[in-house]
């Protein structure tokens, strides 16, 4: 055989270039504190094709979330996205609740600095000198 099997050198260079472009975009996003991927996605979703892709993703997310099942098999609880055995009486659908995660602890309110009770000797001397 004279020819190489698999990807040619040209396609390998194209794949490496795309990976490098994605990496550089991620680094630029981190440096300038902008999410270039989200901005590009927002521009893409304004087109008709982008809206169709977004609608399809939402439909898939809804169907996947509704299909998670909980079964007890051999005494162990199993969560799966495939149907459990119809004869298994412990099979049930799981309702997924989106939580907001943990809240950061509240910072206590700093009390106002208390004023000095009596003026110091230095303040008394300054006042005495000014009043002369």
Judged against a pLDDT cut of 80, whether residue 81 lies above it is answered with no
pLDDT confidence tier of residue 117, bands split at 50, 70 and 90: low
- CA pair distance 75, 119, nearest whole angstrom: 77
pLDDT at 41: 81
**Residue 72 carries which DSSP code?**
E
Give 102-111 pLDDT, tens digit per residue.
778 888 877 6
Tokens of 30: 């981190």
Check residue 27 and give its pLDDT: 95
What pLDDT score was predicted for residue 113? 57
Do residues 90 and 72 lie in contact, with contact meaning Cβ atoms separated by under 8 Å? yes
pTM: 0.35
What is the rounded distance in angstroms from the CA atom of residue 124 to the CA atom of residue 30?
57
Contacts with 25 (C-beta within 8 Å, 6 or more apart), sequence order: 36, 37
The domain segmentation of the chain, as residue ranges, is 8-52
Tens digit of each residue's pLDDT (9 = 90 or more) over 43-68: 887 888 877 877 887 777 665 555 78
Q: What is the pLDDT of residues 15-27, one digit of tens each?
A: 999 999 999 999 9
Q: State the Rg of the chain over Cα.
A: 33
């Amino acid at each position: 055989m004279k020819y190489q099997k698999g990807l040619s050198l040209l396609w390998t260079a194209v794949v490496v270039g795309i990976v490098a472009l994605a990496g550089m975009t991620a680094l630029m996003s981190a440096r300038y504190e902008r999410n270039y991927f989200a901005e590009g996605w927002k521009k893409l979703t304004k087109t008709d094709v982008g809206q169709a892709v977004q609608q399809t993703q939402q439909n898939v997310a809804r169907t996947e979330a509704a299909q998670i099942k909980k079964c007890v098999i051999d005494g162990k609880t199993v969560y799966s996205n495939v149907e459990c055995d119809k004869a298994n009486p412990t099979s049930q659908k799981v309702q997924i609740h989106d939580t907001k995660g943990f809240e950061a602890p509240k910072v206590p309110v700093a009390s106002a600095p208390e004023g000095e009770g009596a003026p110091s000797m230095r303040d008394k001397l300054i006042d005495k000198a000014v009043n002369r």
